[in-house]
Chains A and B, each alone.
Chain A
Amino acid sequence: MLVYLAKRLAYTVPIVFSVALVCFMLVHLSPGDPLISILPADASVELEQRLRIQYGFDRPLPVQFWIWISNALSGDLGASIANGRPVLSEVLQAVRNTLLLACTAAVLGFALGMFFGLVAGYFRDSWIDKLATSIAIAGVSVPHYWLGMVLVIIFSVQLNWLPAVGAGPGNWSWTWTHLQYLVLPAVTMAVIPMGIITRTVRALVGDILSNDFVDALRAKGLGEGRVFLHVIKNAAPTAIAVMGLQLGYLLGGSILIETVFSWPGTGFLLNTAIFQRDLPLLQGTILVLALFFVFLNLFVDMLQAMIDPRIKRG
């Protein structure tokens, strides 16, 4: 297991470096001037040149990348061009908010997805299966920003039950004062993973139930409950892998959902950074999110290896 862990950790080094390089290059190759947020288009050439030097944008790209990656390795992601605040604190604050939203949506989406998937797989081709499958298809098909707007219109504008936007006043607390802000974005965000997990688990359960070992278990006199537990255990590695990927997507923050709900997470941060052409903030946010994804995948691989010994042997 330790060898497997060491190998997987070693793989992450070139991946992280490549991610950093790609996100740096993408940000710099996209159109627009990085000084756009602090320098109106009518600024003089002298002023523009002065600021370009002061911010280091006059240097060759490889030099800029080297300075950025060296600082990033020591935990310094620089300061936002637009607001001057340290990027790391900006990103961490946004990550906290996104984690809160993503984890809530994940719990909701995975629980519902597992439930619908297991039920649909077990009662395959019954009306229960058809209902669960319809819900799953609707979940993956409905544009979630549209669903968010519809939920806002119903529950905020018409019924006035829940707030339409924001994350609530002051620091987060697990009270209704703040929880009410979480309901609509979390439900909206949970819809896609719910649909995907439902479809995955349904297919897995169907396949596993058609295996010979299930008949063998039944022949040995195991009750349906115990048989079902075996089915779940066999479905778990694939389901966990899919959940890991989905959690990665959720943690990446949804620009659309966070913008629709003005939720101050990483998606909202990215949206602002893109529109302001705030390169340090954009690079820092993308890097942190990419690292999240890489390490989450690593964690999922470890978990799979623990559950299914065949994986680490492979």
Chain B
Amino acid sequence: MHSLNTKTRALLGGCCLAMALALQTGVASAESVLRIGMTAGDIPRTLGQPDQGFEGNRFTGLTMYDALTQWDLSSAEDASVVIPGLATEWSVNEDDQTKWTFVLREGVTFHDGSPFDADAVVWNVQKVLDEDALHYDASQVGVTASRMPTLRSATKIDEYTVELTTSEPDSFLPINLTNLFMASPAKWQEFFDGASGDDTAKAAAAWDAFARDASGTGPWIMESFAPRERLELVKNDDYWDAGRVPNVDRLVLYPMPEANARTAALLSGQVDWIEAPAPDAIAQIESRGFVIHKNEAPHVWPWQFSRIEGSPWNDVNVRQAANLCIDREGMRDGLLAGLMAPATGAVEEGHPWRGDVTFNITFDPDEGRRLMEESGFSAENRLSVKALTSASGSGQMQPLPMNEYIQQALGECYFDVELEVLEWNTLFTNWRQGAKDPASLGAHSTNVTFATMDPFFALVRFLQSGMAAPVSNNWGYINEPLYDELVEKARRTFEPEARDAALAELHAASVNDAAFLYVAHDVSPRAMSPNVQNVIQPKSWFIDFSPISIEE
């Protein structure tokens, strides 16, 4: 065996070092970037409590922040349910059911390095509920407090235990808490101390600065922020859940409110992923090798019936007949090019709140006509109904064509439907005014879509009599003692499975009674480049960006 001389060894060593350096440089420069075009017109707020509905939570909430509880987004098939987040366990006080104990996850730090502990939880509750707190911020209250209506305060028990107090016994609290994101008190204090003016001015300046240089505990860290233009996040290598450390190095978010602009940006390679592509461009997008992801979303596109005196929808036969006279599959495959899922309730089979539904909502116009005849209507004696809707609006899908489709379908079942089209904000505001308000123009139904992530938003606010206008969204003044009883039962049942069973009873009762005209669920379509891999689109408004990778 020949031994290498010193010069040769030095040369080889040098070559190896150079190759290693070159490889390392190559690896360092090959940063993976995921660029997303959002439907929002501006970057949703970044200071912890995002605006712009669930799209805000999706992009600037769940990316940079965590909450005490979180949604399980790991499956495309199963219903998305609440799982532990920054709290590992929780329980209600048996003697006083308005008090909850939450045990916090240890060893979690904010992006600025400060620890997450009970003080941080108390501080984050105070930011939206304690008007006397220095860091109370009215601008974050609306989007937060309304999503956890019974939470009142938080008290530190020890470093990793907090007690939360509600205004009344409320088993929905752990679900509501998915909306309270934990921002870093230390980072905010740093900005506060560096600001000038009186305390109010300093607090406002601190929140403004925090929004530009945010700090949460989430899997993504804010790197740069240009209002209305872009938000750049980089992966948090030290994320507390090792299984959810992002695969992609950088996530860049662009506001692109116009559907055709988003589609063009995707097709030209300017972004890798767009939310809600233009429906009429789906075929072209797919023909060019891009991929459409969609799944049934927790969303309902309904007609919400007026149940005030004199409303034709007070007759259960009429409500059931309407539900049987719509060919939802036809609407899906024809009108909406596959971008909807037929709705047969607020939630579908497999969801823990579905329950024992006996009224099978399907396309059966013969049975629909029979029910109408039973109530005295016929081809000669038709029933006139007036329906409110909008020409556009958040979550409304394609309201005019869909309503015209329904108008035509119900026409086959002895209905004469008059559509009253309102401007979206007017319709939305009227949702709280109720069917009796003059702004409802004597309509017998309204058509505002809603999310069903949470039992209060999915069921309670429409079905409980106490939620009638102007308190909440029981637009039609539904007043069914059975519903009220089941709502109370669900709210006071704290064991999660039993609570879900109570909610299932409520849901089944409302579907069997045809409380709504259930039409469609949105499917949250998103289009992306074939390079985007490992996408799991759950049955949720949210999606986990951590497992996603970019294939070169």
Contact = CB atoms under 8 A, between A and B. Distances in A.
Given A83-B227, A164-B270, A39 B142 contact: yes
B200 interface: no
A206 interface: no
Nearest to A31: B426
A14 interface: no
A186 interface: no
A271 interface: yes
Contact of A44 (B149, B226, B256): B149
B461 interface: yes
B202 to A, nearest CB: 15
Nearest to B422: A31
Given A38-B51, A264-B229, A32 B256 contact: no
B51 A44 contact: no
Interface string A48-63: 0011001100000000
Contacts of A308: none
Contacts of B531: none
Interface stretch (A101-109, A115-123, A152-160, A241-249): A152-160
Interface in A18-37: 30-33, 35-37
A272 B43 CA distance: 11
B84 interface: no
B142 A51 contact: yes
Contact of A47 (B142, B226, B227): B142
Interface string A74-117: 00000101111110001001100000000000000000000000
Contacts of A264: 228-229
A85 B270 contact: no
A24 B41 CA distance: 23
A149 B260 CA distance: 8
A268 B457 CA distance: 32
A82 B42 contact: yes
A93 B260 contact: no
A166 B262 CA distance: 11
B256 A165 contact: yes
Given A44-B472, A45-B471, A165 B261 contact: yes
Given A42-B472, A84-B211, A156-B264, A167 B41 contact: no
Given A47-B145, A55-B138, A272-B42, A33 B261 contact: no
Interface stretch (B4-12, B318-326, B428-436): B428-436
A41 B473 contact: yes
A9 B497 CA distance: 73
Contacts of A50: 141
A37 to B, nearest CB: 6
A54 B139 CA distance: 9
Interface residues of B, number: 56
B312 interface: no
B349 interface: no
Interface string B241-257: 00000000000001111
Given A32-B425, A83-B42, A85-B208, A262 B227 contact: no
Interface in B398-456: 423, 425-426, 428-429, 431-432, 448, 456
A53 B39 CA distance: 31
A51 B141 CA distance: 8
A36 B425 contact: yes
A40 B147 contact: yes
Nearest to B139: A84
B492 interface: no
A73 interface: no
A42 B457 contact: yes
B274 to A, nearest CB: 11
A42 B452 CA distance: 13
Interface in B248-307: 254-258, 260-262, 264-265, 267-270
Contacts of A30: 425
Given A35-B142, A163-B270, A83 B51 contact: yes
Contacts of A199: none
Interface string B366-388: 00000000000000000000000
Contacts of A79: 139, 204
B470 interface: yes
B45 interface: yes
A271 B51 CA distance: 17
Most buried by A among B139, B228, B470: B228
B268 A157 contact: yes
Given A41-B431, A84-B211, A94-B228, A262 B261 contact: yes
21 contacts: A32-B426, A33-B425, A35-B142, A37-B51, A39-B143, A41-B473, A44-B149, A51-B141, A82-B51, A84-B207, A90-B227, A152-B268, A153-B264, A156-B264, A163-B270, A165-B254, A166-B230, A259-B261, A262-B255, A262-B256, A276-B51
Given A40-B53, A83-B51, A84-B47, 17 more contacts: A32-B426, A33-B429, A38-B141, A38-B143, A40-B142, A45-B471, A93-B227, A157-B267, A165-B265, A166-B265, A170-B226, A259-B257, A261-B261, A262-B258, A262-B261, A272-B41, A276-B41
